[in-house]
Structure 1
Amino acid sequence: MREIRLRIRSPTEEYKAGHLLREKHRAVLEWLLDAAGPIQGHAHVRLTEKAYFVVERTVELLLGDVAEARPLYRRGPGAFGEPGRREFLRAANRLLRVRPNGDPRTAGDDFFRTVDTLAQARPGTEAARTLRRLSAARPRADAYREGVEATPPLFPVLNPLFPAIRRTAAHWSADGVPVTLVHDQQNALTPGLIAAIVQGARRDGIALAGLRLVDSRDDARVQIADFLAGIARKIASDQLAGSGDPFLVARLAPYVGGRAPAGAVPESGSLAARDNSGD
């Protein structure tokens, strides 16, 4: 962080990824991501494409697995067009999201009406066949909606923060050495929720020793992780939009963990403290 401040020379108290992404600081960005740079081998980012995230969660809820999520995500736009794709995502988002004091059937009615309309529009396609399977799972959707309306889940299915924490812990503890994660302060991460995350991770064989919240302004690790997440988002988003920078895409590649079909939005950036005191 001292070196970045020296190179950028901005009076801003807390630097953000945007500082590094300015054209006039391109040399600093390249230095940070370089194979011989300060974070190579010590930093990691996982990218998640938001649209795929919604499709995957919907398929998992209604069909009990995610096997058909990727084919539906890939074939849907070609079968139903961009308007149809957006309509499906909107309806799926409403179905999965928790709305206090709402009618549990309203979101379901909207989703299955959308699914049936799209399937009837292109009946011979593989995407339409998947939609018909989703349509037949209405009882599962109704049970889910009634359940979340009565008792909101501890980990909302559309919040990427919680799986990101688990995946970060799994990445840095892959050698079996327990790690403690250091995370920027978040209202969503209450003491009870943190305890549940840690207990769940340990139960599943992830060596997560704990999760500690800090003020990002006082912790250089969190600032660098935020840099990486913001940089990765911009590089990947530009690539998806067809205006990617091949040089930066190549520089980012060693830091990207996991595979998303078109990863554009970072779930998390993390920085390893090799004494295992935190990420």
Structure 2
Amino acid sequence: MRSVPLEIACDESGSEGEKLIGGQTGVFAHAGVRLSLEEAAACLAELRRRIRSPAVEYKANHLLRTKHRRVLEWFLGPLGPVHGRARVYLVDKKRLLANELRALAVPGIRPDDELLAAFNDVLRTRNRREPSAGSFFAMAGDTAELRAKVGRARDAKALDPLVPAILRAIEYWSAGGE
């Protein structure tokens, strides 16, 4: 018996690199769907038939329109083409940044938007110059210990959620994706 090759199509939404706060979106999403080429073509043909849009490329906003609610329900529902064949990795970008800050275990600071934005900026700094007045260190308490912790956090990893999302997708689909 010959197995039919399947394609895993992935896309993301909400990626703004390492800018996790103050951007256009609060959530990052990376999705993958596993369909054969024939199934994918049939799915697109059915979407075009049901939506009746002249668009060459279909985006989520086509399905999210109120007038297409039934198409969305079909697409995602138990009889739809992606049911049980799709996986979505979601990241609340602000929470990701706040968790990174909490991991530093700095006593007495609360991760409000202003502090998180300053923390995001200091973690993303490519050069090693000292941040200006009003920066994260001015708000959180400028100590050698805190600077060392932030330096280690900056060196340890990037904040961009795309990398772990791709790794999770590879892990999931390589394991059979069921």
1:173 aligns with 2:169: no
Report SS of the residue matched to 2:89.
strand
- CA RMSD after TM alignment: 3.5
1:33 maps to which residue?
A: 76
Q: Are the aligned partners of 1:55 and 1:89 in contact in 2 as well (CA < 8 Å)?
A: yes
- Residues in 1 aligned to 2:133 and 2:122: alpha-carbon distance in whole angstroms: 6
The unaligned stretches of length 5 or more in structure 1 are 118-133, 148-152, 176-271, 275-279
Query: Which of 147, 150, 155 lines up with 1:138 in the alignment?
Result: 147
Q: Which residue in 1 is equivalent to 2:120?
A: 93
Gaps of 5+ in 2: 1-43
Shift of 1:48: 0.6
Aligned partner of 1:195 in structure 2 is none
Task: Tell me how far apart the structure 2 counterparts of residues 104 and 167 of structure 1 sit (CA, whole Å).
Answer: 34
Amino acid aligned to 1:91: A
Aligned residues: 135
CA contact (8 A) 1:54 1:89 kept: yes
Query: Equivalent residue for 2:159?
Result: 158
The alignment status of 1:42 with 2:69, answered yes or no, reads no
Relative to structure 1, is the Cα distance of residues 144 and 28 closer, same or farther in structure 2, using a 3 angstrom cutoff?
closer
Correspondence for 2:32? none
CA distance in 1, matches of 2:120, 2:133: 11
Structure 2 partner of 1:111: 136
C-alpha contact 1:108 1:141 (8 A) present in aligned 2: no
Which residue of the partner structure matches residue 9 of structure 1?
Answer: 52
| 1:136-187: CA deviation from partner (whole Å, max 9, x where unpaired) | 4322324666x6xxxxx9xx61211111100111122235xxxxxxxxxxxx
Could you tell me how far apart the structure 2 residues matched to 1:116 and 1:25 are? 52
- Which whole-Å CA distance do the structure 1 matches of 2:132 and 2:46 have between them? 51
Q: Which has the higher helix share?
A: 1
**Identical positions, percent:** 39
TM, length-normalised to structure 1: 0.41
Partner of 1:250: none
Structure 1 distance, partners of 2:132, 2:80, is: 49
The alpha-carbon deviation at position 114 of structure 1 amounts to 1.4
Provide the secondary structure at the position in 1 that maps to 2:131. helix
